[in-house]
């Protein structure tokens, strides 16, 4: 079976003949929306189209906002309309020609096209006002937060429609981290009040168009896995081993695919090949029996920070396929 066929079998609860090896079935398309809205490059500090100061440090997996009293965009949630102005997507000169050609080539290679969409509703909130203000405002200013999140959702829906109408990817890779390594950032009921129905609408649009939903959250999300299923997530990408993955497989296997389980602590400058292989073996040993599993480093994109690490991971996954798929 091809990687694409193994993924299709996994999503439909059918028999595989090997692990889906990390990101093998997909190839990312660099579309003009990404080019216009995700502006950071490694080692640079830039201001994004929302006015957020962001930095991508060397040897770091992605960007982070720099939030202080000087750079904070949203200084008062009760006056959010005065501070927050979404990028005007309809006024951007978006040329889809190259992205469509790239997508056609990916399909000729027998792979699925994948589009990245970041950041999510929670992450965009703390990019604009910081973690502390975001979490406090959910509790202290709920009415303004609901209106503010509706505004963010309206922007994301416009983005989604442009993406689907012009490119129609096979897979949406969406990012929004909802927790730390060991806990949600908020109570589950708070997450449900502010985010669940908005995401149900957002992901629902993609599902109506036959697009696979892969949501990245390298977080502890155990309390809301049923909710993740309810809102239409097909693949929870980045699932950390601090989640009780075997228990989640027993309860939710067949309803959602768990992609991750390989701790990123193996990705260091002076890495040990034996330790990398041992971590991959551990993940396969603990999670393969439960099914609905794609072994992968928990990062939200293909590859590793340090060259060579992910090559070893993928090689060991191939070897483990011969053990678990006779």
Please say if the pLDDT value at position 35 is more than 90.
no
Instruction: With beta carbons less than 8 A apart as the criterion, state whether 228 and 215 touch.
Output: yes
In sequence order, which residues have a C-beta less than 8 Å from that of residue 306 and are 6 or more positions away? 59, 267, 268, 269, 271
191-202, pLDDT tens digit by residue?
A: 999 999 999 999
pLDDT at 209: 98
Question: What pLDDT score was predicted for residue 4?
Answer: 95
Q: What is the pLDDT of residues 39-95, one digit of tens each?
A: 777 788 889 999 999 998 887 778 889 999 999 999 999 999 999 999 999 899 999
- What is the structure's pLDDT at 43? 81
- pLDDT, position 309: 97
State the Cα–Cα distance between residues 264 and 279, nearest whole angstrom.
10
CA distance 291 to 78: 47
CATH class of 3-33+67-324: alpha beta
Q: Which residues pair with 214 in a beta bridge?
A: 173, 235
Annotate 42-85 with DSSP letters as a single string. Answer: TT-EEE-TTS-EEE--TT-SS-EE--STTT-S-S-GGGHHHH--
pLDDT digits (tens, 9 = 90+) for 289-325: 999 999 999 999 999 999 999 999 999 999 999 999 9
Cα separation of 48 and 96, whole Å?
21
Q: What whole-number distance in Å separates Cα of residue 63 and Cα of residue 31?
A: 19
Extents of the domains making up the chain = 3-33+67-324
Model confidence over 157-192: pLDDT tens digits?
999 999 999 999 999 999 999 999 999 999 999 999
């Amino acid at each position: 079976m091809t990687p694409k066929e193994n993924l299709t079998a996994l999503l439909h609860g059918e028999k595989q003949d090997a692990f889906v090896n990390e990101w093998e079935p997909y190839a990312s398309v660099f579309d003009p929306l990404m080019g216009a809205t995700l502006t950071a490059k490694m080692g640079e500090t830039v201001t994004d189209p929302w006015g957020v100061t962001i930095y991508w440090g060397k040897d770091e997996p992605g960007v982070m906002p720099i939030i202080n009293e000087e750079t904070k965009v949203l200084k008062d949630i009760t006056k959010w309309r005065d501070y927050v102005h979404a990028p005007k997507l309809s006024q951007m000169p978006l040329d889809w020609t190259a992205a469509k050609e790239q997508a056609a080539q990916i399909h000729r290679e027998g792979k699925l096209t994948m589009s990245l969409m970041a950041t999510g509703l929670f992450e965009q909130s703390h990019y604009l006002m910081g973690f502390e203000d975001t979490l406090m405002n959910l509790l202290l200013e709920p009415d303004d937060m609901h209106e503010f999140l509706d505004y963010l959702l309206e922007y994301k829906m416009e983005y989604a429609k442009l993406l689907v109408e012009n490119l129609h990817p096979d897979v949406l890779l969406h990012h929004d981290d909802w927790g730390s390594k060991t806990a949600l950032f908020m109570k589950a009921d708070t997450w449900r009040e502010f985010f669940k129905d908005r995401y149900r609408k957002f992901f629902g649009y993609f599902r109506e168009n036959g697009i696979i939903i892969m949501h990245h959250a390298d977080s502890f999300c155990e309390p809301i896995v049923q909710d993740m299923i309810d809102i239409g997530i097909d693949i929870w990408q980045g699932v950390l081993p601090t989640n009780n993955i075997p228990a989640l497989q027993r309860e939710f296997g067949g309803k959602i695919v768990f992609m991750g389980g390989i701790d990123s602590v193996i990705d260091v400058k002076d890495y040990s090949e034996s330790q990398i292989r041992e971590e991959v073996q551990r993940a396969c040993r603990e999670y393969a029996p439960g099914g609905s599993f794609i072994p992968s480093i928990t990062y939200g994109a293909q590859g590793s920070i340090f060259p060579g690490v992910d090559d070893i991971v993928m090689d060991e996954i191939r070897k483990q396929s011969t053990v678990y798929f006779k």
